């Protein structure tokens, strides 16, 4: 009986990781950079949702939409100000800049809203669905359903629209894409917008399960989701979903059956093993160097 409920809880946690991992994987796929500030965009999303719900008493849906809007704008602005000037720079410079942006957002949040945690209001109550001996909270069900919707929507967008096609073209060969009339800067902006908007959704889902908002809120989920993206094969959208879900399940199983303290260590150990066997991640493509 425990197994099934652990599995569902794992999928719930994994769904959050998957939605965050998408932001990492899409940005990496197109801009070829690791946006380590992505986790902190989640944090900003959480604060926006918190103030919208708690201070301005907005209903849930407008509050979530507001968080999505703010994060989308934040993602695009950060890209324009911090990353775009470094388009021709070495990847190390971009990486360090991303870490800088991450600290900037964290410390900015601390300055504005103090480091003491705020309690996120309950969105759907503590109800749960009971089927025989199995009991699953509504929050978990909503999280999993959201993840499935995001997955379907994003897959349709990337495969069936002109912007999605242009994104795939840019991830293959930016130079050739430009020569076919595709504005690569615009496509990179769209990628950051989508990734950051999804981060806001992940923020609300995360806070619905773990109702505390604090400036370093995004760090751990960010790192876990980055791990999930690498696990699934960074640059691959299905890989981010698979990696996120697996990581969530492994984490919950490790907590349930092995040790709560060791669960994170076990998660990262699994990652190391996977990368030893398949260095490109589960669904990653082998990169051939151009000569």
Partner 1 sequence: MADEKKLVLDVQDLGIDFGGLTAVNDFALQVFEKEIVGLIGPNGAGKTTVFNMLTKVYQPSRGTIRFLGEDTAKKSVVEMNKAGIARTFQNIRLFSQLSVLDNVKAGFHNSITYSPFSAIFRLPSYFRQERETEAKALDLLKIFDLQDKADTIASNLPYGAQRRLEIARALATDPKLLLLDEPAAGMNPQETEELMAMIRKVRDHFGIAILLIEHDMRLVMGICERITVLNYGMLLAEGTPAQIQANPDVIKAYLGE
Interface residues with partner 1 (CB under 8 A)? 157, 160-163, 165-166, 168-169, 172-173, 175-183, 190, 285
In the complex, the smallest distance separating the C-beta of residue 217 from partner 1, rounded to whole angstroms, is 29
In the complex, the smallest distance separating the C-beta of residue 5 from partner 1, rounded to whole angstroms, is 35
Nearer to partner 1, 169 or 202 (CB): 169
* Residue 219 token pair: 């760090």
* CA–CA distances in Å: residue 66 to residues 33, 45, 46, 70: 27, 9, 11, 6
Nearer to partner 1, 128 or 161 (CB): 161
In the complex, the smallest distance separating the C-beta of residue 68 from partner 1, rounded to whole angstroms, is 13
Residues 32, 89 contacting (CB under 8 angstroms): no
| Distance, CA of 46 to CA of 218 (rounded, Å) | 9
| β partners of residue 130 | 135
Nearer to partner 1, 219 or 280 (CB): 280
In the complex, the smallest distance separating the C-beta of residue 291 from partner 1, rounded to whole angstroms, is 9
| β partners of residue 212 | 119
Nearer to partner 1, 35 or 72 (CB): 72
Nearer to partner 1, 187 or 271 (CB): 187
Residues 170, 182 contacting (CB under 8 angstroms): yes
Please give the helix or strand (H or E) that residue 119 lies within, else none: strand 118-119
Nearer to partner 1, 97 or 236 (CB): 236
| Distance, CA of 11 to CA of 6 (rounded, Å) | 9
Judging by beta carbons within 10 Å of its beta carbon (0-12, 13-18, 19+), is residue 216 exposed, middle or buried? middle
Nearer to partner 1, 84 or 168 (CB): 168
């Amino acid at each position: 009986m425990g197994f099934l409920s652990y599995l569902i809880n794992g999928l719930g946690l994994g769904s959050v990781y998957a939605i965050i991992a998408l932001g990492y994987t899409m940005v990496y796929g197109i801009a070829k950079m690791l946006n380590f500030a992505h986790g902190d965009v989640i944090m900003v999303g959480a604060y926006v949702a918190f103030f919208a719900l708690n201070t301005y008493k907005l209903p849930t849906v407008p509050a979530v939409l507001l968080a999505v809007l703010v994060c989308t704008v934040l993602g695009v602005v950060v890209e324009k100000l911090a990353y775009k000037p470094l388009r021709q720079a070495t990847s190390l410079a971009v990486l360090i800049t991303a870490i800088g942006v991450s600290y900037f957002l964290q410390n900015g949040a601390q300055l504005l809203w103090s480091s003491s945690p705020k309690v996120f209001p309950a969105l759907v109550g503590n109800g749960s669905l009971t089927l025989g001996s199995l009991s699953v909270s509504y929050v978990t069900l909503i999280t999993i359903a959201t993840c499935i919707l995001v997955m379907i929507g994003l897959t349709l967008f990337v495969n069936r629209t002109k912007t999605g096609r242009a994104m795939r073209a840019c991830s293959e060969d930016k130079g050739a894409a430009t020569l076919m009339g595709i504005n690569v800067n615009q496509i990179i902006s769209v990628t950051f917008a989508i990734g950051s908007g999804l981060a806001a959704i992940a923020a609300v889902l995360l806070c619905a399960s773990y109702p505390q908002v604090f400036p370093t809120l995004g760090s751990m989920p960010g790192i876990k989701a980055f791990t999930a993206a690498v696990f699934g094969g960074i640059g691959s959208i299905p890989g981010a979903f698979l990696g996120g879900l697996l990581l969530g399940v492994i984490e919950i199983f490790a907590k349930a059956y092995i040790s709560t303290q060791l669960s994170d260590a076990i998660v990262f150990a699994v990652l190391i093993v996977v990368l030893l066997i398949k260095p490109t991640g589960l669904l990653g493509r082998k990169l051939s160097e151009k000569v």
